[in-house]
Amino acid sequence: MAGNLLVAQSGGPTAVINASLAGVVQSAVASGRFGRVFGALDGTLGILRETLVDLTQEEPAIWKLVQQTPGAALGTSRLKLTDAHYDRILAVLKVHNVHYLCLIGGNDSMDSAWKLSRLAAHSGYELLVMGVPKTVDNDLAFTDHCPGYGSAARFVAVTMRDTCIDSWSGKLSTPVKIVEIMGRHAGWLTASAALARASTPDGAPHLIYVPERPITLEQFLEDVEAAYRRHGYVVVALSEGVRNPQGELLGTAVEAVDAFGHRQLGGVSAVLAEKVSERLRLKARFEKPDTMQRSSSALVSQVDREEALRAGQEAVRALLQGISGKMITLEREEGPTYHCRTGLADLDKVAGVERLLPEAYLDTNGHDVTPAFLDYVRPLIGEPLPPVGFLRRHAVPAGLPPWIEA
């Protein structure tokens, strides 16, 4: 089957989504088996709007730089395809002789890819469709992990490590710090904050809360107070989507009670920092790095980038084998050193399934992850955290009676 290939990037960008794009385009061009390689601007919206670009005409040297560039090089959107869209999409594909489609994206994109593949089959239009996984949330099923996650996890691990050391050294000024991490339903990214402990004092961050483990405000405050009593300071990592046992977003639930229904704007970390100040009388600050987590060029995981590239390459290879209706997966091989091979999963099985942190990765204390999770995530962030060192602090014997603080 001759024809052109169309690729699109969909959903939230990651630091390595362009490596997958480069993998698709470079493999497709190198194969010589496609007419032209088109890109749709702004995700599936670009197919509807017929805003296509000819990627075959790009300078080959640009792909090395594009791979190091955050954001989605083609632009992206969050359009959820509906029945109203499909006739138009098929018409656009037909008029441009597109018989191969790669969608780089998360759950919704895999759903769109599946529907397009089914629709084309029903209407008798020859279209092979392949999904390339991408999400910092790491919540796609049937794959060991998702390209994009390792780099975001590296950002979280390294910046959490650094900000924990900052907190430790300044604990007499501000003893409580709450860091809000992306993840509305799945706690994979927040959990990666535990990697910081490889090089922080006192096991900081001390408390890790994920949406999979509901928590009450009372329990949270108890946990913070206990950790403060033990260490003299507390660093908390928590997911933006952390919930109470009633399933309500914790930040929203807490402010609803306290603020006469006014919506607090700072997210859950701001609400909880305020509660710590108010109820525990401990100075607290919060940080919310938000999209910095998914766009940091300085903290890309090389493992992640290589896998993102490979996922794009494998999608083209599968299309050339006549395969359709699948998503590329990463399958971790058994053995002492980390290695993943690629595989395939059915798009209809992937679509609509949200993979949460399993019980085995969650400590029963409600505010931590297990060593099994650390073993899972460690190889994904690439090289170890940049080294740090601490003084031994050889105490000088006191020569005076203790100072009585006023």
Considering only residues 143 through 162, tell me which ones interact with a copy of itself, judged by CB under 8 A: 158-159, 161-162
The answer to whether 110 and 347 are in contact (CB under 8 A) is yes
Q: Is position 294 an interface residue for a copy of itself (rule: CB under 8 A)? A: yes
CB of 334 to a copy of itself, least distance (A): 32
Cα gap 369→362, rounded to integer Å: 4
What one-character-per-residue DSSP string does 304-352 give? HHHHHHHHHHHHHHHHHTT--SEEEEEEEPPSSS--EEEEEEEHHHHTT
CB of 300 to a copy of itself, least distance (A): 10
Q: Is position 198 an interface residue for a copy of itself (rule: CB under 8 A)? A: no
Q: Interacting stretch for a copy of itself, rule CB under 8 A, among 66-74, 127-135, 140-148, 332-340?
A: 66-74
Q: Is position 2 an interface residue for a copy of itself (rule: CB under 8 A)? A: no
Give me the residues paired with residue 234 across strands: 176
Q: Is position 166 an interface residue for a copy of itself (rule: CB under 8 A)? A: yes
Give 2 or 95: the residue with its C-beta nearer to a copy of itself.
95
Cα gap 14→401, rounded to integer Å: 58
DSSP at 187 = -
Q: Binding a copy of itself by CB under 8 A: which of 31, 33, 35, 53?
A: 53
Cα gap 320→124, rounded to integer Å: 20
Q: Is position 328 an interface residue for a copy of itself (rule: CB under 8 A)? A: no
Residue tagged active-site, from 137, 202, 304, 368: 137
Q: Binding a copy of itself by CB under 8 A: which of 165, 227, 242, 357?
A: 165
Cα gap 227→224, rounded to integer Å: 5
Token digits of residue 160: 């959490």
Q: Is position 177 an interface residue for a copy of itself (rule: CB under 8 A)? A: yes
DSSP at 264 = P
Give me the residues paired with residue 397 across strands: none
Q: Is position 382 an interface residue for a copy of itself (rule: CB under 8 A)? A: no
The answer to whether 179 and 240 are in contact (CB under 8 A) is no
Count of residues interacting with a copy of itself (CB under 8 A): 99
| Interface positions, 5-44, toward a copy of itself (CB under 8 A) | 9, 12-13, 15, 38-39, 41-42
Q: Is position 257 an interface residue for a copy of itself (rule: CB under 8 A)? A: no
Question: CB neighbours of 57 closer than 8 A, spacing ≥ 6?
Answer: none
Q: Is position 379 an interface residue for a copy of itself (rule: CB under 8 A)? A: no
- Please say if 137 is a catalytic residue: yes
CB of 370 to a copy of itself, least distance (A): 27
Q: Is position 391 an interface residue for a copy of itself (rule: CB under 8 A)? A: yes
Question: CB neighbours of 129 closer than 8 A, spacing ≥ 6?
Answer: 101, 102, 103, 113, 114, 116, 117, 120, 324, 325, 347
CB of 81 to a copy of itself, least distance (A): 13
Cα gap 44→123, rounded to integer Å: 20
Cα gap 187→190, rounded to integer Å: 5
Q: Is position 90 an interface residue for a copy of itself (rule: CB under 8 A)? A: no
Q: Binding a copy of itself by CB under 8 A: which of 30, 80, 125, 173?
A: 173
CB of 34 to a copy of itself, least distance (A): 14
Residue among 210, 173, 200, 169 nearest 285 (CA): 173
Q: Is position 208 an interface residue for a copy of itself (rule: CB under 8 A)? A: no
The answer to whether 38 and 4 are in contact (CB under 8 A) is yes
Q: Binding a copy of itself by CB under 8 A: which of 5, 52, 328, 345?
A: 52
Q: Interacting stretch for a copy of itself, rule CB under 8 A, among 47-55, 190-198, 346-354, 369-377?
A: 47-55
Cα gap 180→146, rounded to integer Å: 21
CB of 192 to a copy of itself, least distance (A): 15
Cα gap 240→288, rounded to integer Å: 9
Q: Is position 395 an interface residue for a copy of itself (rule: CB under 8 A)? A: yes
| Interface positions, 103-132, toward a copy of itself (CB under 8 A) | none
Residues taking part in catalysis = 137
